[in-house]
């Protein structure tokens, strides 16, 4: 896997992160991170907590503004517009438009509790402006919403409110909601960390299925077995930097950096450590 090499003319969902820096107060959480994810690729970011994984993920859809460096999607800058030799910050309306091409799934689901599962999924397609697409009618959004709920195995719970669903079911609704705008890229921020162990797999199965769909996936997770299974690039981050990246085979079985090795020796159960 050669995800780090620059890709030829990208079709759909090429993510290029270049020298991204971000500080919260005096603490620099991203210290010049560069990463390329191919269209349709699956990149899994692992690393100790506080290493900047989630922050990196949140900069990709501009939920977090970068202090330095830049991010492009299919060659187009995220959050900024280049005019002359300056980067002009985009207005919120434009940023919202860009975000419709990037779906995001949160650790705590963040479903809208006062809307049913179907209403959660069908909300954005009706009101969000998508570049080059007309907004959907309500009926059309509901029809598509039911399709997506069917895809995550929850068609029969369409009228349930999030609190009436289990954690795993809520996260599957959240995935359906993220898919509703047909994004090029899907970001997963520790999608199974808030789940009971027996509910983790139902969510991972849905993500596994997405991994073959041609959508670019960037996943932050602590599920190492899943990472090994689904990733074509594994990225190990520590202290705001990418320490090492490569195929799951390389990173899990033959890590080169001592920091990577010491991390995996703590988190990998012997069964996984072939």
Partner 1 sequence: MSSAAMKVAQSHRTEPSAADAPPAKGSARDGAVARQAPDYSSYRVVAAKHPWRWVGTAVVALGVFAVAWSLASNPRWEWGVVAQWFTAQSVVKGLVETLKLTAISGILGFVLGFILALMRLSASPLLVSVSWTFSWIFRSTPLLVQMLLWYNLGYLYEKISLGLPFTDVRFFEVQTTTLISQFAAAVLGLTLNQAAYSAEIIRGGILSVDQGQLEAAAALGIPAWRRSTRIVLPQAMRAILPTAFNEIIGLVKGTSIVYVLAYSELFYTVQVIYNRTQQVLPLLLVATLWYVVITSVLSVFQYYIERHYSKGAVRNLPLTPLQKARKFFATHAAVPTRRNI
Positions in the binding site for partner 1 (CB under 8 A): 61, 63, 92-93, 96-97, 99-100, 102-104, 106, 108, 110-116, 123-124, 127-130, 161-164, 177-178, 180-181
Q: How far apart are CB 168 and partner 1 at their closest, in Å? A: 17
* Other beta carbons less than 10 A from residue 230's beta carbon: 21
Environment class of residue 159 by beta-carbon count within 10 Å: exposed (0-12), middle (13-18) or buried (19+)? exposed
Q: How far apart are CB 158 and partner 1 at their closest, in Å? A: 14
Range list of β-strands (E), 5-112: 15-24, 27-37, 42-46, 68-73, 76-77, 80-83, 86-89, 102-105
Specify the residue, 77 or 160, whose C-beta has the smaller distance to partner 1: 160
Q: Do residues 271 and 80 lie in contact, with contact meaning Cβ atoms separated by under 8 Å?
A: no
Specify the residue, 55 or 116, whose C-beta has the smaller distance to partner 1: 116
- Quote the radius of gyration of the chain (alpha carbons, Å): 19
| Cα-based distances in Å from 125 to 182, 262, 272 | 9, 45, 41
| Phi and psi torsions of 95, nearest 5° | -65, -40
Specify the residue, 151 or 261, whose C-beta has the smaller distance to partner 1: 151
Contacts of 2 (CB under 8 A, 6+ apart): none
Specify the residue, 161 or 272, whose C-beta has the smaller distance to partner 1: 161
Q: How far apart are CB 61 and partner 1 at their closest, in Å? A: 6
Specify the residue, 77 or 126, whose C-beta has the smaller distance to partner 1: 126
Q: How far apart are CB 47 and partner 1 at their closest, in Å? A: 22
Q: How far apart are CA 99 and CA 153, in angstroms?
A: 26
Specify the residue, 97 or 259, whose C-beta has the smaller distance to partner 1: 97
Q: How far apart are CB 274 and partner 1 at their closest, in Å? A: 37
Q: How far apart are CB 179 and partner 1 at their closest, in Å? A: 11
């Amino acid at each position: 896997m050669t995800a780090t090499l620059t890709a030829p003319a990208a079709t759909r969902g090429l993510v290029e992160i270049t020298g991204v820096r971000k500080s919260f107060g005096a603490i620099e959480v991203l210290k010049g991170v560069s990463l390329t994810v191919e269209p349709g690729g699956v990149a899994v970011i692992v690393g100790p907590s506080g290493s900047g994984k989630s922050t990196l993920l949140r900069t990709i859809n501009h939920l977090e503004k970068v202090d330095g460096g830049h991010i492009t999607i299919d060659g187009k800058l995220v959050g900024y517009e280049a005019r002359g030799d300056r980067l002009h910050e985009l207005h919120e309306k434009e940023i919202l438009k860009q975000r419709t091409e990037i779906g995001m799934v949160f650790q705590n689901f963040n479903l809208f509790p006062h809307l049913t599962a179907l209403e959660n999924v069908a909300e954005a397609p009706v009101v969000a402006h998508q570049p080059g697409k007309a907004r959907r009618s309500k009926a059309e959004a509901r029809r598509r919403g039911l399709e997506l709920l069917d895809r995550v195995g929850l068609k029969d719970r369409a009228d349930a409110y999030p609190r009436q669903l289990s954690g795993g079911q809520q996260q599957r609704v959240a995935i359906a909601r993220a898919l509703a705008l047909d994004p090029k890229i899907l970001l997963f921020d520790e999608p199974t960390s808030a789940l009971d162990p027996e509910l983790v797999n139902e969510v991972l199965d849905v993500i596994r299925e997405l991994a073959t769909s041609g959508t670019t996936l960037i996943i932050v997770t602590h599920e190492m077995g899943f990472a090994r299974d689904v990733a074509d690039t594994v990225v190990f981050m520590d202290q705001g930097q990418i320490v090492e990246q490569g195929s799951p085979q390389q990173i899990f079985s033959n890590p080169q950096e001592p920091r990577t090795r010491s991390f995996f020796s703590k988190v990998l159960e012997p069964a996984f450590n072939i």
